[in-house]
Chains A and B, each alone.
Chain A
Amino acid sequence: SAVISQKPSRDICQRGTSLTIQCQVDSQVTMMFWYRQQPGQSLTLIATANQGSEATYESGFVIDKFPISRPNLTFSTLTVSNMSPEDSSIYLCSGAVAGNTIYFGEGSWLTVV
């Protein structure tokens, strides 16, 4: 199994600012992903975080808005840039371990005002 920790757990942000979310896994994972969960909705994949190279973004998400880093096998960051109220969501980090079970962090709850 894997334990995934995210920081911050919650934040209230001003419109136009940027916030970086950190994700730490307690063991090496093969893949790391970032998801968004908007109010009342299910989870949508933002991107796959690739170690040492640029993340792979899903349709509708771009690097300028959601820059992602993954410097090693157990750590990744997601930045939400130039925030607007529409970015108010839960952002979840996840990791896949051998056997392909995917584990999630507790999420980072962002409110943009």
Chain B
Amino acid sequence: KQEVTQIPAALSVPEGENLVLNCSFTDSAIYNLQWFRQDPGKGLTSLLLIQSSQREQTSGRLNASLDKSSGRSTLYIAASQPGDSATYLCAVTGGANSKLTFGKGITLSVRP
């Protein structure tokens, strides 16, 4: 059974800092990995999708990497801003059109 872990559960950083959010998964036979953002009282916003054959994806200040063999992914946020404060969730799928297995998320607070 696939398990996704995100540690720590919460993180507080000063504005402007570069930071890395970690995600690990137990079964390396994934199809893809997706990072989401969830703001309080809101649904999930897709940030980046990495296919199993890819090593990284970039969107603006965000860069996600994937090391499938070691069961790890990182989300790098450059020059963090207070607007980046949210919960960041990592999720993996085992096949095309398969369900997502989620981690519990990392709640990020960026202090002005």
Contacts and interface: CB of A to CB of B under 8 A. Distances in A.
Contacts of B103: 42
Interface in B20-50: 31-32, 34, 36, 41-46, 49
Given A41-B104, A107-B43, A100 B49 contact: yes
A107 B102 CA distance: 16
B42 A107 contact: yes
A93 B11 CA distance: 28
Interface size class on chain B is 20 to 34
A92 interface: yes
Nearest to A108: B43
A107 B6 CA distance: 22
B100 A45 contact: yes
B105 to A, nearest CB: 6
Interface in A68-113: 92, 94, 96, 99-107, 109
Interface of A: 4, 6, 30-31, 33, 41-45, 48, 58, 92, 94, 96, 99-107, 109
